[in-house]
Structure formats: structure tokens, C-alpha cells
Amino acid sequence: MLTNFLKTYQQLQNDKFLLPKRQFVTYGLYALIAVALLYLFVDPAPASSTKLSMKAPWIQEEELPPPSPPLPHQGDEKLRSAPAPSQVSAAAPPCDYSDGEWVPDPRPPPYNGTACDAIKDGRSCMANGRTDTDYIYWRWQPRLCDLPAFSPDAFLRWLHNKHMAFVGDSLARNQAESLMCLLSSWSPAELVHRDAESRFRRWVFHEYNATVSIFWSPFLVKGVEKSEHAGVRYNELFLDAFDERWMSQLGAIDAAVLSAGQWFQIPSIYHEGGRVVGCHGCAAEFNYTETSFFGVFRDVVGRTLAEVTRRREDSRGEQLVALTTFSPSHFEGEWNKGAPCTKKRPYKKGEKELGYTETEMRKIVVEAAANAGAAASSTLRFAAVDVTTLANQRPDGHPGPYMRKNPFAGGGRVQNDCLHWCMPGPVDTFNQLLLQTILR
């Protein structure tokens, strides 16, 4: 698995037996890791070419959404959508939705993935030729309670006159696109802003004056993706600087959904106070101190939430910061050698425990949300959307080769995406949990 693979090399790096002549080998492998990860995370355009895509990072200022009058929506709920869940009584203890199992559900999916234009081509598995559909017919059943079906009407009523921003990496985008499909099958949305690479997008549901946007920010803090050093590409993170592409917009955001983590595993150089303070996965020749990416991730999430609290304007109404926990991948073998994800069913409860990386990355987010919540005011709420276990049980829900159209047409080696999620698919459940988080 990806994470095991990276862990192995992290250990190698720390290994006292690592001889100088092996450094070169390690160096080369890091290059391979960086290149292959970029391939997946950068979301190359779905061209028929299998060449690696290394586009420059795209930075674009966001405009504010145009105001529009609210119009309540009337109509029938469709498909798997359900009416707004009845208000949970104040006395009822909150249910732990993170503990449960996937159970068969014969009902049709909540939207037609082929018809949803919010989906970047890479996740439209059916449109790309995936013909097996069993992975669609499951629902998440928490152990001690029921998870209400996703109600687009309840979501949009909450989002009336509000702006929800998804901030993070391509998994943040995956979740945002799922939400757009869930909501736009109920009420039409207009795409009002989009940058050339679809890394920053904004839609308005005019019937509800509700805005959903996506901000690309894979490190949450300021960073430079894959900058080149001696022929190897490293991320550069500036631990004491924030990513103003989204931070500067906080005043216009009512709910932020933060989702990041995968990029922290890639070789990275860390800056603070204008100098390099550490590195993860650097070639030994750089003489940088090897630093655990777990510690860096904890630091980054903590600093980001503290800064959100610090910048909060007193005059502002309620604000919510939801943090989606780490979403595991399911490469069967060395993912950079085209490892597939061939499972066609979810894991049963207890069949697949969380790995070390997944456990740690999840815990960092859950604890950071709790710490920030304890320090924040009553109108600024922090919550973890704990998807790690339910996502870990879904090896069947990734695009695999269907990350691009007709993957087997050209012959040649096929790249598999066993990290992101097909839509419709398991990622829709992330938004089921998000809805319960905002209503709670």
C-alpha cells in the first residue's frame, strides 16, 4: 500500500545501517515517489496520453459571489434523498457515526454520475467505462443508531444565504463534487467562477442563495508544490505562513470544510522563520534534519485552526469549520508500479483494521478539532467529520483504471487511481455525515 511503501522509506531513511552508497538508490526512489504521487494528485487532464503531467501550480484570486434573492424550493424528493431528518431532541446523546459497517442497499444511487457536470472527468467512473455497479449499492450503518439519508433540501435550507467552502487537496475536491451532485439533482446550480485548472470553483444555487466553492490548498498553509531541487521535486511548506488564497476569504465563508493529509507524505522541505527547519524524505546530501510528517501535519492543522479563530470577526454570525478526517487508499501492492484495487465488495466489519498512517492522520485531525473547539467562542464551531473507518472499508469504491476514459484502449501500462472515489460512491457518505454535523 502507498502508505506502507512510504513508511518503509521513512524507516530506511532513519535506518542506521543505511550506507552512503545506498543513498543514491534512496534518492532515486524518492524521485519515483514524487513523480508517481504527482501523477495521481495533480489530476492530469483526461487525455488519452499516459505521459506524466507536471503543470505549474495555479494561483488565482477568487471573486465574491453575486448576491441573488432567495426563493424557497418546492417539489418532491427524488431517489435515495429523504426528507429533512426530524430534529434530534436536545437530550439525545450524539451518535458515533464513525463506528459501523457497510450493508447492502438496493435503492438507486442519489444522483446520476454521468449527468452531473460538477464531476471532474477522472471520477466519473461509469462515464469512463466502469461497467460493474455493485459498489454503488451499499449504505453505511452505524452500530448504535441510524445515519439519516442525505436530504438535499435540508442541506440547502441550512445553506440559505450562506457560503460553504471546501479547502484542501483533491480529496476535498472529490467531496465537494459529490456534494454538488447531491444538491444539484434537487436544485439547479450555476457555475459562477472557475480557474483554468478547475482548482478554484464556485457555484450558486439561486433558489436558495446558497454558495458552494472549492479552494485548492493541499497543505492548508502556504506551500509550493513540487519545486525542483537537484532534479528531484519536493513540496516546500512555509509553516509560519498561511495560504491567503482561502484564508483571506474567511470573512465571506460561513462553513469551511477542510480536507488535507495525503500531500504531507510526499518528500517535502519545511521552512519557518525564513530558514529551512527540516525535511521529509530529502536526499542526505541536503544535510536537512529528517522530520516526521505526522508532526508537521499536526502543527499545520493546529496553526491553521488557531489562525481561523484569531481572524474571526466579532460581528460575524455563526461559523462552522468541519474537518474531514484522513481518507485511506487501497492500492494492492506498489502503487507506483501500477498496483490496482481489484476488490469488488466492501470489507466486513473487523476484516480490515486501520493502518498506522491512517490511524495517526485521523487522530491528528480529531484532536485538533476538539482542541480548537474548546478554545473557540460559542458562534465558531469546529467539528471532525470522521470518515476514516468507513472509507477504509471501501476498497471497491475507487476509480482504479477508470480514472480516465476507456483506459484499455491504447494498450500500454494502465495507471490506477485507488485513492479518490467514484461518484456516486462512498464519498457521498462523507456528505451524509457532513449534513449531520451541520445540523447537530
217: Cβ–Cβ under 8 A, 6 or more apart, which residues? Answer: 167, 168, 169, 243, 245, 246, 260
Q: At what angle do helices 427-439 and 152-159 cross, to 10 degrees?
A: 50
End-to-end CA distance of the chain: 36
Give the span between the Cα atoms of 137 and 103, in whole angstroms.
Answer: 9
Where do the H-state alpha helices sit in 84-196? Answer: 152-159, 170-184
Active site (annotated) includes residue 229? no
> Contact letters (x/-) for ligand NAG, 342-381, by CB under 6 A?
----------------------------------------
Shortest Cβ distance from residue 191 to ligand NAG (Å)?
Answer: 15
Shortest Cβ distance from residue 165 to ligand NAG (Å)?
Answer: 10
Instruction: Please tell me which residue in 170, 178, 217, 329 is annotated as part of the active site.
Output: 170
Identify the burial level of 363 via C-beta atoms within 10 angstroms of its C-beta, where 0-12 means exposed, 13-18 middle and 19 or more buried.
middle
CB hemisphere CA count around 259 (13 angstroms): 28
Stretch that binds ligand NAG, among 34-42, 97-105, 159-167, 321-329 (CB under 6 A): 159-167
- Write the DSSP assignment of 245-264 as a string of letters: HHHTTGGG-SEEEEE--GGG
Based on CB atoms, which residue is closest to ligand NAG, 111 or 430? 111
Identify the burial level of 310 via C-beta atoms within 10 angstroms of its C-beta, where 0-12 means exposed, 13-18 middle and 19 or more buried.
exposed
Torsion sign (Cα): 50, 391, 369, 86 = positive
Residue 161 binding ligand NAG, by CB under 6 A: yes
Based on CB atoms, which residue is closest to ligand NAG, 67 or 350? 67
Binding residue for ligand NAG, selected from 11, 48, 112, 379, defined by CB under 6 A:
112
Residue 75 binding ligand NAG, by CB under 6 A: no
Shortest Cβ distance from residue 281 to ligand NAG (Å)?
Answer: 16
Stretch that binds ligand NAG, among 97-105, 156-164, 363-371, 387-395 (CB under 6 A): 156-164
Q: What are phi and psi of 344, to 5 degrees?
A: -115, 5
Question: What type of residue is 132?
Answer: D
Residue 67 binding ligand NAG, by CB under 6 A: yes
Residue 424 binding ligand NAG, by CB under 6 A: no
Residue 133 binding ligand NAG, by CB under 6 A: no
Binding residue for ligand NAG, selected from 120, 123, 130, 162, defined by CB under 6 A:
162
Stretch that binds ligand NAG, among 27-35, 62-70, 177-185, 407-415 (CB under 6 A): 62-70
Shortest Cβ distance from residue 347 to ligand NAG (Å)?
Answer: 28
Stretch that binds ligand NAG, among 2-10, 90-98, 256-264, 279-287 (CB under 6 A): 279-287
Q: Is 78 helix (H, G, I), strand (E, B) or coil?
A: coil
Give the span between the Cα atoms of 165 and 325, in whole angstroms.
Answer: 16
Adjacent-strand bridge partners of 235: 268
CB hemisphere CA count around 125 (13 angstroms): 25
> Contact letters (x/-) for ligand NAG, 181-210, by CB under 6 A?
----------------------------x-
Helix, strand, coil % over all residues of the chain, rounded to 5: 35, 20, 50
Based on CB atoms, which residue is closest to ligand NAG, 89 or 287? 287
Based on CB atoms, which residue is closest to ligand NAG, 205 or 293? 205
Tell me, by CB under 6 A, how many residues bind ligand NAG: 14
Site for ligand NAG in 287-306 (CB under 6 A): 287
Task: Cite the active site residues.
Answer: 170, 417, 420
Q: Which residues bind ligand NAG (CB under 6 A)?
A: 65, 67, 69, 112, 114-115, 161-163, 209, 211, 285-287
